[in-house]
Structure 1
Amino acid sequence: MRLLRPLGDEVSVWMDAPVPQVWDLVSDVTRIGEFSPETFEARWTRGATGPAVGARFKGHVKRNGVGPTYWTLCTVTACEPERVFEFSVGSDSMSVNNWGYRLEPRDGGTLVTEYFRLEPSLPVRAYWLLLGPLRGRTNRAGMRTTLERMKAVVER
């Protein structure tokens, strides 16, 4: 019997659009406000102008879509054009969460998987043990909303 829930989850949506078109959307953090129910804007920082490993951006978040509202620092941790775009969320000294997108060509379109993975530190594990089921549902719903909104844009 497994006592701890996995520290993450994922949602996949098939989009009737070519991989390069979907890549341009998921890797452009300045457009996240069009799609995410929580992050309503983002901008590249510290000299970054686009997706690359090590590039930094700030996301403006309204937690659970209602608040509190805050800025969070993000660092691109994986950037394989037309395959994977991932970033960590946290400070310069500590990452708390990782978010990403995997793209797979499938059936003439693209299967897009959005995922999150929490860092396995003791405080994060305690948080997930107490609030994981609720936050996990919120994150799954948010990922589905984000992907469905992206799908509507790329399938126009």
Structure 2
Amino acid sequence: MTTDTVPALDPATFTFTRRAWVPAPPPVVYDLVSDVAKIELWSPTASRVRYDDGAGPVPGAWFGGHNRRGEREWDTRSQVSTADAPAEFTFVVGGLDDGIVRWRWLIAADGPGSIVTQEWQLLRLDPVLGSTAGELAALRDDMAASAETTLIALGRWLHEHATKP
């Protein structure tokens, strides 16, 4: 009898990419997404995200946050892996040495705005995320829906807060 347990799964199969056009140039978008405290303006799951005292959007910096998914709530610690203005901001939930999920923001100029890409990748298996392929797929799908909502809300926020001529 085979089982669908975490040790038999490949974390690399649990990933997604979502993209959206937003009405702002890459430097503006980068400054917003790398200021992790602003994510709660757009994300349906993240709140109270803050860099540690004295830290900011530089490789190695740590930040904490609070997350909600359905009835479940939890706190996270994340570490910045890439802060390459204005093109990429990436962090790893759990830290660079033992992280479980990587979130990557890519920003590319496109006419008067930018194409913003959010990538999510499971880096290692951890029962806290799920113990079956179905549970991990549900987590991935929930995070993909959250990323879509975040990208749409970011675009809307940029439109509403644009400096009018």
Q: TM-score range by the shorter chain?
A: 0.7 to 0.9
Supply the distance in 2 between the matched residues of 1:125 and 1:43 (Cα, whole angstroms): 23
Deviation at 1:154, TM superposition (A): 1.2
Runs of 4+ displaced beyond 4 Å: 121-126
Q: Label 1:122 to 1:154 Cα distance change in 2 as closer, same or farther (>3 A).
A: closer
Query: Match of 1:130, as an amino acid?
Result: G
* Range with greater deviation from structure 2 (128-137 or 20-29): 128-137
Residue 44 (str. 1) matches residue 48 (str. 2): no
Aligned length: 151
Q: Label 1:125 to 1:72 Cα distance change in 2 as closer, same or farther (>3 A).
A: closer
Find the partner of 2:123 among 114, 119, 134. Answer: 119
Find the counterpart in structure 1 of residue 91 from structure 2: 87
**Which of structures 1 and 2 has the bigger CA Rg?**
2
Deviation at 1:69, TM superposition (A): 1.9
Query: Match of 2:154, as an amino acid?
Result: M
Answer whether contact 1:21 1:154 (CA < 8 A) is retained: no
Supply the distance in 2 between the matched residues of 1:20 and 1:77 (Cα, whole angstroms): 19
Answer whether contact 2:52 2:64 (CA < 8 A) is retained: yes
Residue 71 (str. 1) matches residue 75 (str. 2): yes
Question: TM-score if structure 1 supplies the norm length?
Answer: 0.85
Deviation at 1:6, TM superposition (A): 2.0
Helix, strand or coil: the match of 2:13? coil
Supply the distance in 1 between the matched residues of 2:88 and 2:132 (Cα, whole angstroms): 26
Q: Label 1:91 to 1:85 Cα distance change in 2 as closer, same or farther (>3 A).
A: closer
* Range with greater deviation from structure 2 (86-95 or 145-154): 86-95
- Percent sequence identity over matched residues? 28
How large is the Cα RMSD of the aligned pairs?
2.4
What is the correspondence of 1:14-25 to structure 2 with a 5 Å cutoff?
Answer: 14-25=21-32
